[in-house]
Amino acid sequence: MKASIAKHTATLMISAALAVTAGAAFAEKWDMPLAYSATNFHSATAAAFAQCITTGTGGEIEVVTHPSGSLFKGADIKRAIQTGQAPIGERLLSGHQNENAVFGVDSVPFLATSFEDAGKLWKAAKPTMEKILDEQNLVLLYSVPWPPQGLYFKQEVTAVADMEGIKFRSYNNATARLAELTGMLPVQIEAAEISQAFATGVADAMVSSGSTGYDRKVWESLTHFYEVDAWLPRNYVMINKDVWNGVDEAQKNIIKGCAELAEYAGTWRAVEYTQFTLNGLRAGGMTVGPAGEALQAELKEIGAIMAAEWLENAGDDGKAIIDAYNSMQ
């Protein structure tokens, strides 16, 4: 995987040299809003992607990232790009499930629980995603998965009954529905606000990756992380279609090359980061390990309910994606 990254990098550096030789007659600055902290691996991938475009175009397009929701909050990023307030940016794909159920395909519980299966699911879903985004004045550039999602609590939990009344951080429709079905109370909280929410008692639990917990140092407030591998949600980078149409073919090819490299490298980072962050949670003092068999069984029953609901809401598009995914198994 590293050799392939090096090959892509060499190709892009050649493109950069050609672009510099040609000269940058008109330089553009593209501000790129990100929802997550600069230290998060998604933001690091986006920063490398931005630098790749800046270098590859010889400075004709300078992309500047703005992490931690500093330019637009996570929930506002997609709308900002659609309406031209920002030319390019990154957002959690399932954050738009209220617009179209298909956006939540990566958050169907226990459908794709490994990086390999998540990759297959994305391959099955990507053409439909591109079509939907195109209709919304957006162009998909690349997408990177999060590590598998687990459950965070500030107490030991051995059964769904133990979750009754707990304030649960939600970040999309799936997490809010999970809270409802387990008797927890969903509270919408953006990633940049997680640490404060737990420290002040606004929330006491969440489903997320080891990466998010590690980045936000949640061991300062929470005590347990249960590995349930519920799903692997995805972030994606999009560009305003009008902006994209205004880019010449040479620049488009550079951006596509940078996007391909970012998706490859970002996925590699996600895989490598998974165990590292779980070890980091342990080092912070948290109890980390698989959920007990009884809890896993109860969660899978709830997952089956959520999967059926998603399929009904996603209609023919959802069925086509699942059929295509199952054909790869």
User: How high is the pLDDT of residue 54?
Assistant: 98
Confidence of residue 16 (pLDDT cuts 50, 70, 90): very low
Q: What is the mean pLDDT of the chain?
A: 93
Q: Are residues 310 and 245 in the same domain?
A: no
User: How high is the pLDDT of residue 20?
Assistant: 43
Q: Which residues contact 45 (CB under 8 A, 6 or more apart)?
A: 144, 262, 265, 266, 269
User: How high is the pLDDT of residue 8?
Assistant: 52
Q: Are residues 108 and 167 in the same domain?
A: no
User: How high is the pLDDT of residue 21?
Assistant: 40
Residue scoring higher pLDDT (16 or 41): 41
Integer angstrom CA distances of residue 214 from 72, 269, 273, 287, 324: 23, 15, 10, 13, 35
**Tens of pLDDT along 166-181?**
999 999 999 999 999 9
Confidence of residue 191 (pLDDT cuts 50, 70, 90): confident
Is 108 within 8 Å of 174 (Cβ atoms)?
yes
Give dist(CA 194, CA 188) in Å, integer: 10
User: How high is the pLDDT of residue 26?
Assistant: 59
Q: Are residues 179 and 317 in the same domain?
A: yes
Is 146 within 8 Å of 211 (Cβ atoms)?
yes
Q: Are residues 92 and 224 in the same domain?
A: no
**Tens of pLDDT along 297-319?**
999 999 999 999 999 999 999 99
Q: Are residues 26 and 104 in the same domain?
A: yes
Q: Are residues 319 and 288 in the same domain?
A: yes
Per-residue pLDDT, averaged over 241-261, amounts to 98
pTM confidence score: 0.89
- Which CATH number is 51's domain given? 3.40.190.170
Q: Are residues 103 and 204 in the same domain?
A: no
Q: Are residues 256 and 284 in the same domain?
A: no
Give dist(CA 190, CA 37) in Å, integer: 11
3-state helix, strand, coil split of the chain in percent (to 5) is: 55, 15, 25
Share of the chain above pLDDT 90, in %: 90
Per-residue pLDDT, averaged over 187-213, amounts to 94
Q: Are residues 296 and 216 in the same domain?
A: yes
Q: Are residues 13 and 114 in the same domain?
A: yes
Give dist(CA 13, CA 19) in Å, integer: 10
Confidence of residue 325 (pLDDT cuts 50, 70, 90): very high
User: How high is the pLDDT of residue 27?
Assistant: 81
Q: How many domains does the chain have?
A: 2
Q: Are residues 181 and 154 in the same domain?
A: yes
Per-residue pLDDT, averaged over 192-219, amounts to 95
Per-residue pLDDT, averaged over 1-15, amounts to 49
Share of the chain above pLDDT 70, in %: 92
> C-alpha angle with apex 93: 177 to 245, nearest 5 degrees?
150
Is 89 within 8 Å of 66 (Cβ atoms)?
no
**Tens of pLDDT along 58-98?**
999 999 999 999 999 999 999 999 999 999 999 999 999 99
Q: Are residues 76 and 200 in the same domain?
A: no
Range of the domain at 33: 2-146+234-275
